[in-house]
Structure 1
Amino acid sequence: MERRRRMRHLAWAVLLLGLALGVQGLAANQSVSASSAADGPYEGHTLVSVQSYGLDGKLLELNEESEVVWKYDPPNSRVFDAEQLDNGNFLVAVTTKLPPSECPENQLVLVPGHCIEAKVLELDYETKEVVWNYSWYDEKITHHEVHDVDRLENGNTAIVDMGNDRALVVNESGEIVWEWHAENHLGEGTAFREKYGGPPNPGGEADWTHVNDIDKLENGNFQLSIRNFDVVIEVAPETKNITNVVGAPGKTEVLDHQHNPYKLRGGTLLVADSENDRVVELNATTDEIVWQYGGRGLLHWPRDADRLPNGNTLIVDTFNNRVVEINQRGEVVWKYEGVMMPYTADRLSVPEEDHETVPGTELRSRYSGVSSLEGTLKQAEAYAAFVFPTWVKLPELLTLAGMVVCGLVFLLDLSLAVFRRE
């Protein structure tokens, strides 16, 4: 009798919690919103690339009223770095998941059910037609996407290929004219390895370097972000030797799994320091922190940051599903929220590379951490977006957890009752 009463109560609890979850879903604000402060954002349209939690990535151009005025949403794809070219077209990194029937046999070894095509596309602004492309196949989409592309002054295109731990430059005909392989410069027996160490190369399709950014610097060197090594390096194109290192493997107080470093004119490096939940400006010689903004109370896994000419900083706050612009005092003056897992953001009125701006020494730093419990809950909420609809936040997760616990206890009681009858 007692078990029956408990099972009846558990069934009601599951039902009521299910209804509560439904109400939470209906009440959730799933729309995109934007706002700006009185002093306003820096002028110009904003280009936002969206990786997404699934395969519905997109590229958006927002006007100064935060309205979408241009959109590119390729099917079954994730979208990463993008830039507007001098001719007005957009250059964008796209990774598309393909069915096995469209895959080369040599890319169906690890995951027989699919492969990916990593693509660099130049899109005509008016028609969205592909007017130039460079692509290759790879085994899987996770950690094999093409994250960054950069059109160089001579018309060549610089690309990072994390799936093959390399950086490359291709000309307009699609011929590789320069290539850098991490194994030759970060692997066993190299000068970098002897001085700095770093994770060993496991070989195969493992995510070893997670190289995620390339820029051509004013001195002619290439700057590469080696995310899994916690370093940003400079590479001389002629010798392919590493000439400068910011950070060090495992020295996470400097950089921790960073994205999109950008070298400012004053010689400092502005970096989205992702696992430290901050944007940081570092002295590129000494690793000294010049300025920072973040902590999980303000940002959660940022992956892009641009310093604008007036000293404002445009930040992609990935796990908070938003893009924010902060002023020199660290106050949010513009935000675009509800865009699911954004990757990069550019203010199109500002040159992609090398422009005058305000150094971090003249800005106010802000850092706001959270307790370990709150940090863990925020992380769980972020990871849940990979599994559940994006409106499922912490309250909904707690409701769902209650349903699961009550359901499991109900099933356990039911199993015991059946077992005893037998």
Structure 2
Amino acid sequence: MERRRRMRYLAWVALLLGLALGAQGLAANQGVSATSADEGKYDGHTLISVQSYGLDGKLLELNENDEVVWRYDPPNSRVFDAEQLDNGNFLVAVTTKLPPAKCPADQLVVESDQCIEAKVLELDYETKNVVWNYSWYDEKITHHEVHDVDRLENGNTAVVDMGNDRAFVVNESGGIVWEWQAENHLGEGTAFRERYGGPPNHGGETDWTHVNDIDKLENGNFQLSIRNFDVVIEVDPETKNITNVVGAPGKTEVLDHQHNPYKLRNGTVLVADSENDRVVELNATTDEVVWQYGGRGLLHWPRDADRLPNGNTLIVDTFNNRVVEISPRGEVVWKYEGVQMPYTADRLSVPEEDHETVPGTELRSRYSGVNSLQSTLEQAEAYAAFVFPAWMKLPELLTLAGIAVCALLFVLDLGVAAVRGE
């Protein structure tokens, strides 16, 4: 009798928690919203690429009133770096997950149920038709997406390919005219390895370098972000040698799994220092911090940052599902919230390669951390978004956990009763 009473209580508690979870879902704000200070936001439309937690990535253009005026949402895809070209078209990096029937046989060795097509697309602005593309197949979507593309002045296109640990340049006809293989410059026996070390290359489809960004610098060199090495490197295109290194493998107080470095004309590098939950401007020679904004109290896993001509900084605050613009004093003057797992953001009134702006020495740094418990809970909430609906934040997750505990106790009671023949 006692067991039956306890099981009834558990069932009622689970039911009440289920109703509470439903109410939380109805009350949750699942839409996007934007706010702006009366003064301070830099003028122009904003281009936002959205990776998404699933396969519903998209590219959005917002006008000055934060209305979506252009949208591209390819099916079964994640969307990464994008830029507007001089002709008005958009160049965008897209990775599409394909079923086995559409995959080459040699790309079904590791994951027999999928492959991916990594694509660089130029989209006509008016029709959204693909007017130029370059693509290749790879084994799986996790850590194999194409993260960055850059249209060069001569019409060629620079690409990073994290699945194959390389960077390359392709011409308008689709021919590779330059290629840099990480194994030849970061692997065993290289000058970089002897001086800096770095994670070992286990080969196959392991995520070794996670190279996630390429830019052509004014001096003609390529700047590459080697995320898993915690470094931003500069590469001479003629010799392919590494001429400068910002950060060092494992020296996470400088950079920790960074994204989208942006070299300013004063010689500093503005970086989304993702695992350190900050945006940091570093002296590219000494690694000295010139300016920073972040800490878990302000940002959570930022992945892009652009310094605007007026000294504002546009930041993609990925795990907070928003894009923010902060003033030189570190105050938020604009934010666009509710976009799920954004990757990059550009203010389209600023030319893609115009890095003339206010240096960090003239800006105010801000850093706000949180205690370890809050940090752990926020991290769990962020990871849960890959599994549960986006509206399920920490309160909803705790309610769901309560339901799971009640269900587990109920099943255990049933099991005990069955074993005892009751």
Shorter-chain TM-score tier:
over 0.9
SS in 1 for 2:303: strand
Q: How far does residue 406 in structure 1 lie from its aligned partner after superposition?
A: 1.1
Distance 1:200 1:418 in 2: 52
Q: How far does residue 40 in structure 1 lie from its aligned partner after superposition?
A: 3.4
1:202-242 deviation per Cα after TM superposition (whole angstroms, max 9, x unaligned)? 10000000000000000000000000000000000000000
- 1:29-178 map, 5 Å: 29-178=29-178
Aligned to 1:339: 339
Q: 2:252 matched to 1:271?
A: no
Distance 1:35 1:25 in 2: 24
Q: 2:261 matched to 1:261?
A: yes
SS in 2 for 1:163: helix
Aligned to 2:330: 330
Q: How far does residue 318 in structure 1 lie from its aligned partner after superposition?
A: 0.2
Contact 2:263–2:355 (CA<8 Å) still a contact in 1?
A: no
- 1:246-395 map, 5 Å: 246-395=246-395
Aligned to 1:230: 230
Q: How far does residue 394 in structure 1 lie from its aligned partner after superposition?
A: 0.2
Q: How far does residue 331 in structure 1 lie from its aligned partner after superposition?
A: 0.4
Distance 2:104 2:369 in 1: 48
Distance 1:141 1:237 in 2: 29
Distance 1:379 1:355 in 2: 33
Distance 1:421 1:200 in 2: 57
SS in 1 for 2:172: coil
**AA matched with 2:153:** E
Distance 1:121 1:279 in 2: 29
Aligned positions, number: 422
Distance 2:229 2:83 in 1: 26
Q: How far does residue 354 in structure 1 lie from its aligned partner after superposition?
A: 2.8
Distance 2:412 2:87 in 1: 66
**AA matched with 1:14:** A
Q: 2:418 matched to 1:399?
A: no
SS in 1 for 2:412: helix
1:221-267 deviation per Cα after TM superposition (whole angstroms, max 9, x unaligned)? 00000000000000000000000000000000000000000000100
Aligned to 1:186: 186
For the aligned residues, what is the CA RMSD? 0.6
Q: How far does residue 403 in structure 1 lie from its aligned partner after superposition?
A: 0.7
**Paired-residue identity, %:** 87
Distance 1:101 1:403 in 2: 40
SS in 1 for 2:11: helix
Distance 2:47 2:38 in 1: 22
Aligned to 1:28: 28
Q: How far does residue 355 in structure 1 lie from its aligned partner after superposition?
A: 3.2
Distance 2:187 2:355 in 1: 35
Distance 1:285 1:293 in 2: 21
SS in 2 for 1:370: coil
Distance 2:380 2:65 in 1: 33
Distance 2:159 2:420 in 1: 66
Distance 2:181 2:217 in 1: 19
Q: Which runs of 5+ in 2 are unaligned?
A: none
Distance 2:224 2:40 in 1: 33
**AA matched with 2:335:** K
Distance 2:200 2:235 in 1: 20
Distance 2:230 2:219 in 1: 23
1:6-57 deviation per Cα after TM superposition (whole angstroms, max 9, x unaligned)? 1111111111000000000000000100000121310000000000000000
SS in 2 for 1:6: helix
SS in 2 for 1:75: coil
Q: 2:9 matched to 1:3?
A: no
SS in 1 for 2:26: helix
Contact 2:98–2:115 (CA<8 Å) still a contact in 1?
A: yes
**AA matched with 2:64:** E
Distance 1:356 1:241 in 2: 27
Distance 2:391 2:253 in 1: 33
SS in 2 for 1:292: strand
Q: How far does residue 377 in structure 1 lie from its aligned partner after superposition?
A: 0.3
**AA matched with 1:252:** T
**AA matched with 1:30:** Q
Displaced runs of 4 or more, over 6 A: none
SS in 2 for 1:333: strand
SS in 1 for 2:132: strand
**AA matched with 1:379:** Q
1:147-178 deviation per Cα after TM superposition (whole angstroms, max 9, x unaligned)? 00000000000000000000000000000000
SS in 1 for 2:391: coil
1:297-328 deviation per Cα after TM superposition (whole angstroms, max 9, x unaligned)? 00000000000000000000000000000000
**AA matched with 1:395:** P
SS in 1 for 2:179: strand
Q: Which runs of 5+ in 1 are unaligned?
A: none
**AA matched with 2:14:** V
1:80-106 deviation per Cα after TM superposition (whole angstroms, max 9, x unaligned)? 000000000000000000111111000
**AA matched with 2:265:** R
Q: TM-score, normalised by structure 2?
A: 0.99
- 1:235-246 map, 5 Å: 235-246=235-246
Distance 1:41 1:331 in 2: 11
